[in-house]
């Protein structure tokens, strides 16, 4: 049920997970006053400490935390386990947060801008870690990012969002080679390409709307070069334009729509 981001049934399913099955949807937050192993201990307790008695000794919890840190590629887990967040590098903090999230053995790991503010080398290490965890642990990863290069490197499927609405969904190859929505096309036209060194980059006109009072109809219509009168009054339906490729735009609205 998690294959299509635009599927209404999936929205209900994810809502249920948020309300009553949050152990299956992993998120983690750092607290400045806790060391890395105490943070991991906290999450182990919250999620039920699988395989460990409810009143397990602190020492056992400590070593489980160390193993979690080691499992995300931290070379000196014992030392890092005793460190506070302000004592760790940005890349190390990201690894600690991933370890915390994995303590629940989740079905889905939400990674919200995991490479932001990291240098290129550390970004590559974090992305490699995520690929490894996906293959080794079997956890699905929902990656939220504004970095198109990261998407091209690690994603299988892509949901393009604008002002809170999903406007296009497709495989990563389809998104980059056959973008359909004007917003997706605008994004890809604004980034440089090695195979087109002389290509002139274009920007999307206008600015992001106020989400408290968003535009009526299609939220992209004030900035869209193809906007039609209907775009201003009605939200476009999501239509199927190929195998697993959907788009919410009146340029493609036809008889086949995802309700």
Please name the residue ranges forming H helices in 138-217: 148-154, 172-177, 182-189
Name the more confident of 94 and 145: 145
Q: Which helix (H) or strand (E) holds 63?
A: helix 58-71
Most confident range, picked from 15-19, 26-30, 249-253, 255-259: 249-253
**pLDDT of 150-203, one tens digit each?**
999 889 999 999 999 999 999 999 999 999 999 999 999 988 877 777 878 889
| pLDDT at position 25 | 43
Please state the pTM of the whole predicted model.
0.75
% of residues, the chain, pLDDT over 70: 75
| pLDDT at position 206 | 93
| pLDDT at position 248 | 96
| Average pLDDT rounded to a whole number, residues 250-259 | 64
Domains of the chain by residue range: 21-154, 180-258
% of residues, the chain, pLDDT over 90: 34
Inter-axis angle of helices 90-102 and 120-137, to 10 degrees? 20
> Span 21-154: which CATH code?
3.40.50.300
| pLDDT at position 39 | 56
| Average pLDDT rounded to a whole number, residues 205-230 | 94
Q: Is the pLDDT of residue 127 over 90?
A: no
The answer to whether 168 and 246 have CB atoms below 8 angstroms apart is: yes
The answer to whether 125 and 73 have CB atoms below 8 angstroms apart is: yes
Nearest in space to 71 (alpha carbons), one of 105, 115, 48: 105
Q: Which helix (H) or strand (E) holds 36?
A: helix 36-47
Mean residue pLDDT of the chain comes to 78
**pLDDT of 5-60, one tens digit each?**
445 555 545 555 544 444 444 444 544 555 655 555 555 554 444 455 555 556 77
Q: For residue 2, name the pLDDT band (cuts at 50, 70, 90).
A: very low
| Cα distance between residue 144 and residue 147, in whole Å | 9
């Amino acid at each position: 049920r998690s294959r299509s981001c635009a599927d209404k049934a999936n929205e209900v399913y994810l809502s249920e997970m948020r309300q009553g099955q949050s152990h299956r949807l992993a998120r983690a937050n750092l607290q400045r006053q806790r060391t890395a192993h105490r943070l991991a201990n906290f999450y182990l307790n919250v999620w039920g400490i699988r395989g460990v008695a409810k009143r397990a000794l602190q020492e056992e919890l400590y070593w489980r935390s160390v193993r979690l840190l080691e499992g995300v590629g931290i070379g000196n887990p014992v030392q890092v386990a005793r460190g506070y967040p302000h004592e760790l590098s940005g890349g190390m903090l990201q690894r600690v947060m991933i370890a915390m999230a994995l303590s629940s053995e989740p079905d889905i790991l939400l990674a919200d801008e995991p490479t932001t503010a990291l240098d290129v080398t550390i970004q590559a290490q974090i992305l490699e870690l995520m690929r490894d965890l996906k293959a080794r642990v079997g956890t699905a990863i929902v990656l939220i990012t504004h970095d198109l290069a990261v998407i091209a490197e690690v994603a299988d499927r892509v949901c393009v969002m604008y002002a809170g609405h999903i406007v296009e969904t497709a495989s990563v190859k389809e998104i980059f080679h056959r973008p359909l929505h004007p917003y997706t096309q605008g994004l890809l036209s604004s980034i440089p390409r090695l195979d087109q060194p002389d290509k002139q980059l274009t920007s999307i006109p206008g600015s992001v709307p106020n989400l408290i009072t968003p535009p009526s109809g299609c939220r992209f219509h004030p900035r869209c070069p193809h906007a039609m009168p209907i775009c201003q009054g009605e939200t476009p339906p999501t239509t199927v334009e190929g195998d697993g490729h959907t788009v919410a735009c009146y340029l493609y609205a036809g008889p086949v729509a995802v309700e």
